[in-house]
Amino acid sequence: MRRVFLFLALWLGFAPALQAQDLQSILQIHATEVADPGRRTVNAVLDDLAVSGLSGVADFLESWQDKAVWQRADGQFFVAAEAGNDLHLTDIVSGAQSTASKANFTQIKPNGGVRRVIGTALVQFQLTDPDLARRTTAVASIARSPNADQLAPLLASIAPEPDADLRARKVQLANFLSASFAATPNDRIAAIDNMAQDTSVEARAVLNQILTVRPGVAAMLPDNENVAGVLTPGQDMTPDAAYSLLVAAGLAPPRTPPGVIRAALEAHIDGGRVADVPVAQLNTNAMRERAYAGLAAAGRVPPLVTPSDRDAAMAAFAFFEIYAEADPAITDAAKRALASVETRVAAGQTVDLALDALSLASIYFLAAIGLAITFGVMGVINMAHGEFIMMGAYTGYVVQLFIPDYTLSIIVALPLAFAVTFGAGVTMERLVIRHLYHRPLETLLATFGISIALQQLAKNIFGTQARPLTSPAWLDGAWVFSDVIQISYIRIAIFVLALIFLALILFVLKRTRLGLEVRAVTQNPGMAASMGINPERINMLTFGLGSGIAGIAGVAIGLYAKVTSEMGADYIVQSFMTVVVGGVGNVWGTLAGASLIGFLQKGIEWLNPSNTLAAQTYMILFIILFIQFRPKGIVALKGRAAAD
């Protein structure tokens, strides 16, 4: 600790007499220790360098640690780099450059232990270095290898730290170090209490380290140990582990391994028998143990520990766990803090899971809203809906080939994708769909064939490799709330886009003539036709609108997922499930269905994280059961029921 107080004296502004000397003079005072350093002798050099206040000390320590310090024949030290038989020298005091023959110099080569001591001292110097990068590196070094010597310099460097983020990191590390290495129990407990709101992995690691336990066994629970809990063999530990603990403590004889039993039997075969057991019968463990017991009874081998012997030995002793930390007050504080942290982590994981589910629901909503409109108005099972999503994504990719500005390209791609897929949807409705109304099986087969044809067309044009649809730079990264809660900006953007589309579709359906006619045809096509509305025109525009929305959804999904010819197939099943579960032909139903499926899928994946295929299977089974009890979906259209 002496060097720590010397560092504090330097940082607090107390300048010892050594400050008047230059670096070379201090090194000459400790020439022997510098030239041939040891883990004990090097501390004297580091102490004097610490209190010198000289600006070149940190650079010298770096060179010394890297074996870049050389001593000339007259005893002077230089920083040098080898160049064949010569050295490029740097004067430690003036920084002057020169070249000299290597023959007159000896390289200083501190061993690994000395380099670690120098590295610790160097970190303490770097904590107050004017260069932010060096201070950041020093803090990271402390985080990687914390020890008690670093606590005082770290505390002293917090107040003068000008960078707010680095200061906060220093405070956090100071809490970690204080919890483990502070001088008094009260200081350690105060630091532990400060960690009760820190959900970082590092904080949990520090608290778990304090709560480290080791197993113990004795005739009764010890009074002079910090006992963590009592262990019951067969419940908290296996009987074999408990007996091994007795053997390790010298409280019971070791069990005889099967190999030793076999060797003993082989060594005592007499007349085709071992004890009173014929050799031919020694083909089971029970018979081998019987023969060995016979040898033991005759005093020819050590006695065998039987299961009853093991149980009797375990019953005679108490098994327990002992904290590595001897102070119960500290472990009690650590348990309270860890319980608080784990509660916060669980709450944070719940929020993070909800954000993921909300993000997935927004993706499903974008993918399904166009299908909800077409399926709801016309009752057409459009298996090519996923390919309209794919067409929108490829439209965004093509736009980026001509517009390298990713922000501008996305702005252009969104309406262009709508136009392309709107046109494709209208064409498909005019050429195929309108001839197949009220023939669901033929419609399903026809649209399925169209989806295969569109996939193959995309492969012929763009190839089978995934194509990049790059998001703007301002969508890179994630919004980090804590170490547990974070969400990527691209997911936020998709969620916002889903809200915009929800508002836009509601406006079109509720505030425009087209929306009025669409709702009329949806609720009662016959009555709408008698009022002068052309159902065929509405069907065409509605199919085009739904396809256009799928194209815009493709651009949004392409920013998040891979753009391939098969990407539509990844969303077609979820889209149909969303529409059916939510309620056919209802925007709010689609939103409710997307939310239910998104949250359900994320919940099942959380319960079964290692098997996403099983999670999707469970989700489909749940939805099948759901529609058995509510076949019209979450939000059913009353008008459609009347029409039916």
- The pLDDT, as a whole number, for residue 340 is 92
Q: pLDDT tens digit string along 210-257?
A: 999 999 898 888 888 888 889 888 888 888 888 889 888 888 888 777
- The pLDDT, as a whole number, for residue 585 is 64
Percent of the chain with pLDDT over 90: 15
- The pLDDT, as a whole number, for residue 637 is 58
| H or E element that contains 620 | helix 612-629
Is 8 a residue whose pLDDT tops 50?
Answer: no
Which alpha helices (H) appear in 379-405, and where do they start and end?
385-402
- The pLDDT, as a whole number, for residue 16 is 44
441 or 17, greater pLDDT? 441
Q: pLDDT tens digit string along 479-490?
A: 877 777 888 888
Query: Where residue 541 falls among pLDDT bands split at 50, 70, 90?
Result: confident
The ranges assigned to domains in the chain are 2-126, 214-323, 346-643
- The pLDDT, as a whole number, for residue 640 is 45
- The pLDDT, as a whole number, for residue 57 is 80
Phi, psi of 358 (to 5 degrees): -65, -40
- The pLDDT, as a whole number, for residue 19 is 45
DSSP assigned state of 69:
E
- Please name which of 70, 94, 71 lies closest in space to residue 80, comparing C-alpha atoms: 70
DSSP assigned state of 560:
H
- To 5 degrees, how large is the angle CA 567–CA 570–CA 571? 105
CA quadruple 162, 146, 188, 5: dihedral sign:
negative
Taking the C-alpha atoms of residue 9 and residue 627, their distance in angstroms, rounded to an integer, is: 75
- The pLDDT, as a whole number, for residue 638 is 57
Query: Where residue 423 falls among pLDDT bands split at 50, 70, 90?
Result: very high
| H or E element that contains 518 | helix 513-523
Cβ partners under 8 Å of residue 271, min gap 6: none
Contact criterion met (CB below 8 Å) for 593 and 578: yes
- Please name which of 254, 264, 241 lies closest in space to residue 309, comparing C-alpha atoms: 254
Is 271 a residue whose pLDDT tops 80?
Answer: no
Contact criterion met (CB below 8 Å) for 117 and 107: no
- The pLDDT, as a whole number, for residue 582 is 80
Q: Torsion-angle region of residue 398: left (phi > 0), alpha (psi -120 to 50) or beta? A: alpha
DSSP secondary structure letters along 239-290: HHHHHHHHHHTTSSPPPPPHHHHHHHHHHT-BTTEETTEEGGGTTSHHHHHH
Taking the C-alpha atoms of residue 357 and residue 485, their distance in angstroms, rounded to an integer, is: 13
| H or E element that contains 101 | strand 97-101
- The pLDDT, as a whole number, for residue 511 is 84
* Stretch 120-128: mean pLDDT: 77
Candidate from 9-13, 172-176, 342-346 with smallest mean pLDDT:
9-13
- To 5 degrees, how large is the angle CA 523–CA 527–CA 529? 105
- The pLDDT, as a whole number, for residue 330 is 93
Phi, psi of 41 (to 5 degrees): -75, -25
With 0-12 CB in 10 A as exposed, 13-18 as middle and 19+ as buried, what is 141? middle
Q: What is the mean pLDDT of the chain?
A: 83
- Please name which of 38, 36, 46 lies closest in space to residue 149, comparing C-alpha atoms: 46
- The pLDDT, as a whole number, for residue 173 is 92
* Stretch 53-80: mean pLDDT: 84
* Stretch 203-207: mean pLDDT: 91
DSSP secondary structure letters along 580-607: HHH-TT-HHHHHHHHHHHHHHHHHHHHH
Q: Torsion-angle region of residue 67: left (phi > 0), alpha (psi -120 to 50) or beta? A: left
